[in-house]
Amino acid sequence: MLAGAHAAAAPGAAHATPASADPAISETLTTSVLRAVTMRSGTRATIAYRADDTAGGIVTVDLLVTTRTGHVVRTLAREVSVVAGVDQTWRGRIRLRPGLYRIVAHARDLTGRSEISAESTGLRMRPPLPPLVPTARARRAAFTWAARRAGQVAVAVVDSRGHLYGYRAWRPYLSASVVKAMLLVAYLRTHKSVSAAMRFALTRMIVSSDNDAADAVYRSVGPRGLTHLARTAHMHGFHASSSWIVCRITAADMARFFRDMERYLPPRHRRFANQLLSHISAYQRWGIPVAAEPRGYRVYFKPGWLGAWVLASEAGRLERGRVCLGLAVLTDDNPTSTYGRDTIAGVTARLLQR
């Protein structure tokens, strides 16, 4: 039944049946739910409805939620006395599985006469919001700590509800090997099938961060391919170069890109890409995975560094249950070879604290 459609209805059922065969009596009482509702399970809803009766007076109303086939799944209100012809409002919380439902009102007057027609409307239940990660307190702790670290630090996190927060998140950095994740996606987007030789090159490029393999992939993708991907992903701070290692990236762009990466990959290639990004070689599993994996997160990430770890950066997607985060921590001018990696791990740990 579509919104606005009329059907016979009876109290406690999705459809009304005339209380009398006499049209002069049965056609005077009708009900309607006035507006469709979209909400998340467990949140408060406002539902507007009314009962119209040419005889006027007081009527009692039952407000119900039904499946689209008419099965009653919730009774929101029972035998509420209302004035006929006046808009009414019900407010409260509805907890239902995600999906499409109907809201219908059934009415009776003081003599027991039921409505001749009940105009229902749609109810769309969306999944409940995931737990908020990171919290505002965790963000403050992480950004304050990052600001106190030596060298240059930029942080961006897309939280579990899709909001971007950051510290110097738009400052440009040399991409180093972090951009290899973009090379992977750019190549897979433009190839329906991947040869065994190229699968081997892509695996070497991501899992062990092999630069020769990255050169081979970049010859296929080129600056134009990376630029096109960046535009598709709305990466406003990205700048390609003749060499992949000196492209320019920002923490904000990389956090968004990693969180939404599967959106840019053809479905046939998603499993392959996720397999590579979740199986980085053990000696490169520093920073984000060191802090996130003990907390139960599955991490899809790519690290990058230059020189004697003077520049050390990471970006990744973190998943645990209904929580999905995008995170990028970029560092430069680090005073020691381990300092940048410690910064990345420290920022991640503070963001994920409860």
Q: Are residues 172 and 312 in the same domain?
A: yes
* Residue 131 belongs to some domain of the structure: no
Considering 108, 126, 144, which residue would you say is the last residue of a domain? 126
Give me the pLDDT at residue 345, please: 98
- pLDDT greater than 60 at residue 23: no
Give me the pLDDT at residue 28, please: 84
* Residue 93 belongs to some domain of the structure: yes
Q: Are residues 182 and 220 in the same domain?
A: yes
Q: Are residues 272 and 189 in the same domain?
A: yes
What average pLDDT does range 156-167 have in this prediction?
98
Can you give the C-alpha Rg of the chain in angstroms?
29
Judge whether 125 and 43 are in contact, CB under 8 Å.
no
Give me the pLDDT at residue 36, please: 96
Could you report the per-residue pLDDT of 87-131, keeping only the tens digit for each? 999 999 999 999 999 999 999 998 899 999 999 999 999 998 999
- pLDDT greater than 90 at residue 62: yes
Q: Are residues 274 and 297 in the same domain?
A: yes
- pLDDT greater than 90 at residue 22: no
Q: Are residues 217 and 313 in the same domain?
A: yes
The pLDDT confidence band at residue 42, using thresholds 50, 70 and 90, is confident
What average pLDDT does range 299-326 have in this prediction?
97
What average pLDDT does range 37-51 have in this prediction?
94
Q: What is the CATH number of the domain that holds 210?
A: 3.40.710.10
Q: How many domains does the chain have?
A: 2
Q: Are residues 35 and 148 in the same domain?
A: no
Of 10-19, 211-220, 330-339, minimum mean pLDDT range: 10-19
Q: Are residues 161 and 108 in the same domain?
A: no
Residue 337 lies in domain: 136-352
What average pLDDT does range 64-69 have in this prediction?
95
Extract the tokens encoding 179.
């951009």
Considering 92, 126, 160, which residue would you say is the last residue of a domain? 126
Q: Are residues 324 and 217 in the same domain?
A: yes
Query: What string of H, E and C letters represents the secondary structure of the chain?
Result: CCCCCEECECCCCCCECCCCCCHHHHCCEEEEECCCEEEECCCEEEEEEEEEECCCCEEEEEEEEECCCCCEEEEEEEEEEEECCCCEEEEEECCCCCEEEEEEEEEEECCCCECCEEECEEEEEECCCCCCCCCHHHHHHHHHHHHHCCCEEEEEEECCCCCEEEECCCCCEECHHHHHHHHHHHHHHCCCCCCHHHHHHHHHHHHCCCHHHHHHHHHHHHHHHHHHHHHHCCCCCCECCCCHHHCEECHHHHHHHHHCHHHHCCHHHHHHHHHHHCCCCHHHCCCHHHHHHHHCCEEEEEEEEECCCCEEEEEEEEEECCEEEEEEEEEECCCCCCHHHHHHHHHHHHHHCC
pTM: predicted TM-score of the whole model, two decimal places: 0.79
Locus of tokens 């599993």: 285
Give me the pLDDT at residue 27, please: 52
Judge whether 175 and 245 are in contact, CB under 8 Å.
yes
Q: How far apart are the first and last CA of the chain?
A: 46
Could you report the per-residue pLDDT of 190-219, keeping only the tens digit for each? 999 999 999 999 999 999 999 999 999 999
Give me the pLDDT at residue 350, please: 98
Q: Are residues 309 and 184 in the same domain?
A: yes
Extract the tokens encoding 208.
């062990």
* Residue 1 belongs to some domain of the structure: no
- pLDDT greater than 50 at residue 4: no
Q: What is the CATH number of the domain that holds 25?
A: 2.60.40.10
What average pLDDT does range 283-296 have in this prediction?
97
Q: Are residues 101 and 157 in the same domain?
A: no
